[in-house]
Every structure is written in structure tokens, then in C-alpha cells.
């Protein structure tokens, strides 16, 4: 029997356009929507295919997980795609996420430094591997502590797959609603409580820095 948590039910509403010009497109991606097509006809509906209806030249630069919402940038020309992709590869972009995590995260600021790699028998899960994993670092800053959860700002230094989700789970504070890495009461939420709030890039035309933000929906 298929686990209901993993049945693909993309949201029906159109993505929110935050900014568009002659080179770039900035979008607020919904939770539950793939960034790019998945395997199988039932996973063809995705953010980039929806964007292509209005922006036929749209090109992928980076991705957000299916369950993660928030700011994404796309190129509208091959030059913009190359320029932005290089910024991500060379860690010239600045990304800031907001999450709700299980328990009280202490101290108020810190860094998780744990190497990650794919957990092949359990894909798409990732795992910590100190021998073969790729270096991965996430900085955090507590925004608000409650009795049984913490609202935290997460700032990835590297950009590994599922990095924030694994790092928080390994620290003992899984992100609420995470279908892969949270268990018990921490998993019992209507969505993954992780949102890409802010993205800072250099514009491919001229190199001026711009920051784009999307309101946190939880």
C-alpha cells in the first residue's frame, strides 16, 4: 500500500511571481509542488512547467524540495542561467530560511557541521557519513522559543540535498511536519515547516546585488 504522505497532490493555484525582468524570474514556490518534473506521468506537473506557459524561455538554476516553500530564481536567457548557476556553485548567493523545529534549540546561535551523502537503499533520504559524505554546514539563529518548539532562522553555508532537514534532525530538533526525517508528534503537521524566506543574488545584467523575499506562510 502506498503511504498517503508520498502521494503527489500538487496545489492547484498558480505560483506567485515576485519579480520578472528581461533576464530573471523570481517566484514564491508553494509547498507540495515539484520544482521540476519527477519520474512518471503523474509527476509531470511542476513549477517550471507552469511557469513556461507565461515565460516560455524559463531555465532552471536551482531547486527547492517538494515540501519546501519559498523564493526561487530562474533564468530567462542562457546567459542569466549560466551566471546565476555559477553564483550558486561558488557560494556567492545568500539564502535564509525560516523553520519550526521540535523542542528547544540551544544555544541561541550555532552551526551544524556534518558531512552528507545519499542513503542509497532509502532514496531520496540523505544521511550523515563521516567517511564518504560531502562537507555540509548550516548556521542557525533562534527567533522564538516556545514550550515544545523553536522558530529558527537557518542559513545554509553549503547547498546539499535535504541539508537543512537532515542537519536539524541529527541535532535532535527535526523540522516539524517532515515526512522523511521527523517521527511521532514532530511529524504530525499539515506540511513541512520550512520556508525559503530570502535570496540574495547579483543580477546577471550589471552585477548589482538584489534581495528577494517571500512572506512566511506559517
**Catalytic residue list:** 65
Least Cα distance to 131 among 111, 145, 114, 146 occurs for 114
Q: CA 137, CA 161: separation in Å to the nearest integer?
A: 12
Q: Report how far residue 24's alpha carbon sits from residue 26's, in angstroms, rounded to the nearest whole number.
A: 7
Strands (E), 23-178: 24-29, 69-75, 94-102, 109-113, 116-118, 126-128, 137-145, 149-156
Query: Comparing C-alpha atoms, which of 57, 56, 35, 58 is closest to residue 47?
Result: 35
Question: Shortest CA distance to 175 belongs to which of 197, 199, 159, 153?
Answer: 153
Amino acid at each position: 500500500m502506498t503511504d498517503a504522505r508520498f502521494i503527489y497532490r500538487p496545489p492547484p493555484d498558480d505560483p506567485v511571481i515576485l519579480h520578472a525582468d528581461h533576464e530573471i524570474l523570481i517566484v514564491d514556490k508553494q509547498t507540495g509542488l515539484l520544482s521540476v518534473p519527477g519520474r512518471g506521468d503523474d509527476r509531470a506537473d511542476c513549477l517550471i512547467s507552469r511557469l513556461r506557459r507565461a515565460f516560455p524561455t524559463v531555465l532552471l538554476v536551482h531547486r527547492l524540495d517538494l515540501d519546501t516553500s519559498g523564493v526561487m530564481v530562474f533564468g530567462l536567457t542562457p546567459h542569466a542561467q549560466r551566471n546565476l548557476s555559477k553564483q550558486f556553485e561558488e557560494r556567492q548567493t545568500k539564502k535564509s530560511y525560516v523553520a519550526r523545529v521540535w523542542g528547544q534549540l540551544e544555544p541561541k546561535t550555532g552551526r551544524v557541521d556534518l558531512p552528507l551523502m545519499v542513503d542509497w537503499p532509502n532514496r531520496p533520504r540523505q544521511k550523515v557519513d563521516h567517511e564518504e559524505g560531502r562537507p555540509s554546514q548550516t548556521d542557525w539563529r533562534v527567533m522564538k522559543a516556545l514550550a515544545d518548539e523553536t522558530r529558527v532562522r537557518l542559513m545554509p553555508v553549503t547547498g546539499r540535498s535535504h541539508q537543512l532537514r537532515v542537519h536539524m534532525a541529527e541535532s535532535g530538533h527535526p523540522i516539524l511536519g517532515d515526512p522523511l526525517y521527523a517521527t511521532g508528534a514532530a511529524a504530525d503537521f499539515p506540511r513541512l515547516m520550512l520556508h525559503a524566506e530570502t535570496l540574495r543574488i547579483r543580477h546577471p545584467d550589471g552585477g548589482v546585488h538584489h534581495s528577494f523575499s517571500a512572506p512566511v506562510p506559517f
